[in-house]
Copies of this chain bind each other. A is one copy, B any other.
Amino acid sequence: MPQIDQTHDRTLRSWLPSANGHQDFPIQNLPFGVFSPPGGTARAGVAIGDAILDLAAALASGLFEGDARQAAEAASGATLNAFLALGAEPRRRLRARLSELLAVGSAAQREVEPCLHAAADCTLHLPASIGDYTDFYVGIHHATNVGQQFRPDNPLLPNYKHVPIGYHGRASSICPSGTPVRRPSGQSKQPDAIGPGFGATQRLDYELELGVWVGRGNALGEAIPIAEAGAHVAGYCLLNDWSARDIQAWEYQPLGPFLAKNFASTISAWVVTPEALAPFRIAQPPRPGGDPAPLPYLMDLADQREGALDLELEVLLLTPGLRAKGLQAHRLGLSNARHMYWTVAQMIAHHTCNGCNLRPGDLLGTGTISGPDATACGSILEATLGGKNPIVLASGEERRFLQDGDEVILRARGRREGFAPIGFGECRATIVPAS
């Protein structure tokens, strides 16, 4: 199992009461992000329970030394790019020191307390300036389900089990959790219509994905070998790759999705580190019999042994009707990151095998991660079979696709016997009407 140390100890408790048993941010997590306290400017912070630790303030109080200090300095600007670029060791040192500072018995509790802000009073921002955003397609159940609807005769194309398929997305429209999403307009064409029309999408969808933050980059022209790929990952987030299916169906050939996707992507604001996720790494599930072996540049024994992630991924829907009746959000799907056909290391090795350069703060999406059955769909297109079978909610409402006022909430959760469960914080956004 990847490096497990004292920061993962399940018995570790914080002197900050809200951290203990917190569903997302117990002391075993310590994700990094960028926030503004009330009336303050954007700055880096660490989520702990219901609070955020101001890293620059802690740095100014002299709470860090050596490598941890260097990492905290890199993390004390208005974006985390310089911190993401550092690589694992300084990040690990800073994490260890933060764990020490926040743990019961910390000698520095009195110095740390003034550096905490109530998270509820703060605004979360994108954690980094995103240079390039690439979205993959590694959820094989999703690829199969959607392929069946777009290409009934040919759901999974011949390249799928050889190539970690990916494409470039739009960086400018990536928003932190909480930013409303405007229903996009665009061209679409009814299958039996003579020509296309223009208007607000009628088939608005979410996509349940993991996001991967690139840490250290690579020089243009130099591939990252798969055995080194893990060292280039700085963290993870949730990613909702909103999609307009009617626009997509009409525009996507031959160059792929464009306006169907680039109107907004929502991410959870906290960077959950590879260190925090170490307990939840698992072996790659064996490939089904008959599947081809990956080409050598995508093969690594360590990656096979511990390159997959066991993370529950959940998507929930809160509609105006549910809200009005005081009902809970409806679970649209419960999936797991273990359903990725390719690992993150394989994604990175593939992305750079042609010399393409990744930069610190680049974001990779996994693509929609659905599970093998109908309770684990990562998009409404799958859950309703393209709108044919509406979802019926406890409020009496029906949904074939998303309506204005609907809020979609993604959650991730790591659970493993002997370890404290951790979460990612929410990735949520509400649809506002087309302009």
Contacts and interface: CB of A to CB of B under 8 A. Distances in A.
The copy count of this chain in the complex is: 2
A255 interface: yes
A165 B251 contact: yes
A253 interface: yes
Interface string A116-151: 000000000000000110100100000000010011
Interface in A144-186: 147, 150-151, 157, 159, 162-163, 165-173, 175, 182, 184-186
Given A162-B187, A163-B187, A198-B297, A354 B171 contact: no
B354 A247 contact: yes
Give the interface centre of A132, A134, A198, A359 by most chain B CB atoms within 10 Å. Answer: A132
A163 B250 contact: yes
Contacts of A258: 134, 165-168
A81 to B, nearest CB: 13
A259 interface: yes
A257 interface: yes
A252 interface: yes
Contacts of A165: 251, 254-255, 258
A355 interface: yes
A195 B435 contact: no
A353 B170 contact: no
Interface of A: 131-132, 134, 137, 147, 150-151, 157, 159, 162-163, 165-173, 175, 182, 184-187, 189, 195-198, 220-223, 244, 247, 250-259, 262-264, 292, 295-297, 350-351, 353-359, 362, 435
A368 to B, nearest CB: 12
A163 B187 CA distance: 8
Contact of A168 (B168, B184, B254, B263): B168
**6 A-B pairs with the lowest CB-CB distances in the bound complex, closest first:** A256-B256, A184-B354, A168-B168, A182-B221, A167-B255, A255-B256
Nearest to A135: B255
Q: Is the contact region of chain A dominated by helix, strand, or loop, or is it mixed?
A: loop
Contacts of A186: 353-354
Contact of A356 (B150, B173, B295): B173
B256 A167 contact: yes
B182 A355 contact: yes
Nearest to A357: B172
Contacts of A184: 354-355
A137 to B, nearest CB: 6
Nearest to A179: B220
B187 A435 contact: no
Given A170-B356, A172-B362, A222-B435, 9 more contacts: A184-B354, A185-B355, A197-B295, A221-B263, A221-B435, A252-B256, A259-B353, A263-B355, A355-B435
Contacts of A172: 131-132, 220, 356-359, 362
Given A172-B132, A196-B295, A354 B263 contact: yes
A50 to B, nearest CB: 30
B297 A253 contact: no
A170 B220 CA distance: 12
Contact of A251 (B134, B159, B168, B255): B159
Contact of A256 (B147, B254, B435): B254
Contacts of A244: 354
B350 A259 contact: yes
